[in-house]
Each structure stands twice: as structure tokens, then as C-alpha cells.
Amino acid sequence: MTLPVAAPAIRTDLYIDGRWRPAQAGDRRPVINPATEEVVAEAAEGALADVDAALDSAKRAQPAWESLPAIERARYLHAIASHVRDQLEPLARLVVMEQGKTIAEARGEVGGTAEFFDYFAEFARRLEGELLPSDNRDEHVMVLPIPHGVVVGIMPWNYPSVVCARKAAPALVTGNTVVLKPHEETPLSALALAAIADDIGLPAGVLNVVTGPGETVGEALVADPRTDYVTMTGSTEVGKRILEAAAKRVLPVSLELGGKAPFIVLADADLDLAVRSAVSARFMNCGQVCTCNERTFVQAEVYERFLDRYLEQVRRIRVGDPFDPATDMGPKVSRVELDKVDAIVRRAVADGATAVIGGDELRGDRYERGFWYAPTVLTNVRPGMEVMEREIFGPVSPVMPFESLDQVLELTNSSPYGLSAYLFTRDLSTAMRVARDLEYGELYINKIGPEQLQGYHTGFRESGVGGDDGKHGLEGYMRRKTVYLNYARQQ
């Protein structure tokens, strides 16, 4: 099955046990194009009965999937990657239609989806256990990697394709079966992935997709005893609810949550590089990235020079039709998210900040329909303001001067978040000090993201527990079983 992404409206069902089926209650939810407010699909609205069917399917399929040699599981992953590449353009258009990012960003996302499946497939021959010496004669101690069983992946709306691959690929290669719950605003890319899995003949029940609201479908998936592991990317608030529910079952989880990434520019930095990087890191995907430059700190000696160049580049950002290759930034994903960002900016201005660029919704003929917010730069911000403490998740950039490295380290480390951070300096000693003392799971020095497959994407404090990517992310999808093997001949 290939989704007809050019159609004006796509009716989508749930993918459970290798079959497409409507939600048992028959409910559907419109999927809205953020740039036009047109309904591009009617997605099935799953409920408890659908969760039950999906988990039952995944539980039944898991022993046979685990029993396959890992290299055979990897062949399915490579086949998925190949099909994703073959359909890159329609899949990218699907991302644009449901999420609103530019077509260039969407193509990059779908390319990353394929890369995740290929990358984790290559671990098939490297799922290593250990053989240890025993204290006793004629005996070995074996520590074996085994899958959890059924993995539930709860997806965000900002990267609806690649995060599915980020969760599903390592889970599948290690022998788990998977139930994906995409965000209700952006279910189409996950369903497209299910269609590809169906096309390549992935065994029934190994990958299931249940669409529907987090308050019912998501919570039921986490609470169900058939769920053996939960991996989620989303807001800190939702992550805390998942962690609380998981604690009742002592259920292992991996949570990649909110961020408030500091972007630190020291006086000795390459200012042109820092400015270009700050703009990209703030306004990519309309600022809807957990690793985005959420607050820019510039050392006082170069603050005015940095700000002048920064404002010049922000003014050049072209906001418009995300399918137009000349567009730099698309719309916010929804009216609710647009209103959240607008409210944060209004409160910041009321608290003394100055919107030197933007500060409001975009209006006029080009923006008559859709969820458009102007690229915004705020000055006269200070520590303690909401806009400097709370995740904005939109195209709003507070910029603040600082005096010393000690001051900015104290400011950034006092945040409840600890996901990503950025540092621009030419001094290696300073860079190494910040790498040691900055309490964030991910630090970019003289560069920006995205993060790379072989790294480890993890956050400290309220930015989450566990992590994704690389061998350390893969480890989370396995448990370790210790076997004491005595092979002495019995008399």
C-alpha cells in the first residue's frame, strides 16, 4: 500500500497485525495542513479496544520475531530503508502537508528515516554478550542481550517521520515488536511507514500503528501489562505523566523531553559563523525542535556587533509556502501551538522585553489561512523571565549579553532543562572547560546539529532519562540475562 499523497483527502486506518482496519468505534479525526488549514486526511481515532488488539498482536508476534537470526531481521530493516528512499519525494510532501516544515527540511527528515533503518540494521552482527570466567571449575558465566518484548513508541508532532524510525529501527533489530503511537496532529508519516512495512512483507504483528489521542491511546499503552518498554519523545509535562504511570509497574522507559538550549557566544568567537549558526539553530522547522537555540547569550564586548548582524539575517528569513524551494520557514503546526507562542511573547513584552523584530502573527493575503508567526527577536530580557526559562518551541529568539564565562555557566546550569547547548569560541582550553562544566547531555562547539546517528542523544534533569542513537541508544532496547553454565560431567 502506498498512500496517495497528492489526493485532497486521505482516509487512513489503523495498522494492526499486518492488516489495515478502521478504529473499532469508527471515529475519525481531521488532519489539518498548517499552511492552508485544509483537511488533508481523516485519520482513524483509536480507543481502548484498538490498543488491546495492537498489543495482543505484538505480544503474539514477538517470540517468532526474536527467534529469527538478527541478520534476517536486519534484511527487513534494509528493505524498509530502500523503500523509503524510493518514495522520498511523496513521503517528504506528506511531512509538509501534515506538519508544515519546508520541503527541503522534509526531504532531509525522510532521508534520515532511511538512514536510521540502515544504520541500526548494521548492528545485527554486533549484538554482543559476554563470556566471563567462573569462580568454579568447568563452568562459564554468560551475560546475554535479550529484547524487552513489546516496545511502545510515543511520537512527537515536530518530526513525524524520522522519530518513528529512531524508535522502531533499534527496537526491531534487537528482537522486539513495536506499537507506534504517532501524535494525533501528525499521524500520516507513521502510517506511511506502516504501509512500507506491509509492502516489504514484515511479519504480521511486528510493527503496529495506532493513531488517536494521548489521553486515551497513549495512557492505555503505557499502563497495559503487555507493554515491556516505553520510548517517548515529547514535552516534559507528558513525560512526567508517563514516568509516573510507568513507576507503578516498574516499567523501563526512555524519555526525550523538553529543552531550553543556551547558545553561548564568547568574545573571541568567529562572529559570522556564530550569527549564521544562531539563525539556523533558532528558526529551523519554525523553531519547533527540542535542540533549538532557545536563548542566545553573547559576551558583552561583542554583543552589539553580534546583534546587528543577527538582526540583519533574521530580517532576510522568507516565510511562506513550505512547498516553495525559496521558502526558509513555514507555519506553526497548529492554532493551539501558535497561540502558545504568541502568549509567551506578549507576556515577555509586558515584562519589559523589546520585540526588535516580529512579535506577532503574520497577516495579509499571503497569510490569510494557516498558522503563521513572524520570526521574532527579543532584547532587554533578563534571567527569571518566562521567555528565558520556559521552552518556547517557536520562532522567537531572546538575546541577552553576559559578562563572564562563570556567569553564563551559572545561568545555563540553573535551568531545569539539560538537553542541548551550543558554544562558540576559538579557545580550546575554554571549550574543554565548558565541555566539562556545562551540565547538558549534548554540546555543540563551533557548530550546530542535527545530531548524528552514531552519537548519543540524551538529556539531563527534566530533559529526560535514557536516550537515543548509537550503541548507547541501542542498549536501551535490550535487557541482560546472566546464565551460569556448569558443564562438568555428572558422576
Residue 386 annotated to the active site: no
Cell of 218: 497513549
DSSP 8-state symbol, 8: S
Give 212: exposed, middle or buried? Use CB within 10 Å, 0-12, 13-18, 19+: buried
Cell of 12: 487512513
Cell of 146: 535479550
Cell of 42: 481523516
Preceding omega of 450 cis (within 30 degrees of 0): yes
Phi, psi of 47 (to 5 degrees): -145, -165
* CA count, 13 A, side-chain hemisphere, 406: 0
Residue 290 annotated to the active site: yes
- For residue 185, what are the contacts with CB-CB under 8 A and spacing of at least 6? 31, 32, 98, 99, 157, 333, 334
Query: For residue 58, which of 23, 15, 20, 21 has the smallest C-alpha distance?
Result: 15
Which residue pairs from 125-131 have beta carbons closer than 8 angstroms and sit at least 24 positions apart in sequence? 125/70, 125/71, 126/471, 127/70, 127/173, 127/174, 127/478
Which DSSP string corresponds to 59-80? HHHHHHHHHS-HHHHHHHHHHH
d(CA 100, CA 94) in angstroms, rounded, equals: 10
**E-assigned strands of 87-240?**
130-133, 139-147, 150-154, 177-181, 207-209, 229-233
Select which of 115, 290, 337, 442 is catalytic.
290
| Under 8 Å between Cβ of 113 and 165 | yes
Cα torsion angle, 407, 412, 413, 415, sign: positive
d(CA 200, CA 255) in angstroms, rounded, equals: 30
d(CA 207, CA 191) in angstroms, rounded, equals: 11
List C-alpha distances in Å: 323 to 63, 96, 103, 105, 450. Answer: 44, 7, 5, 10, 22
Q: For helices 70-86 and 162-173, what crossing angle results, to 10°?
A: 160
Select which of 185, 256, 294, 442 is catalytic.
256
Separate counts of helices (H) and strands (E) for the chain: 15, 25
| Catalytic residue set | 256, 290
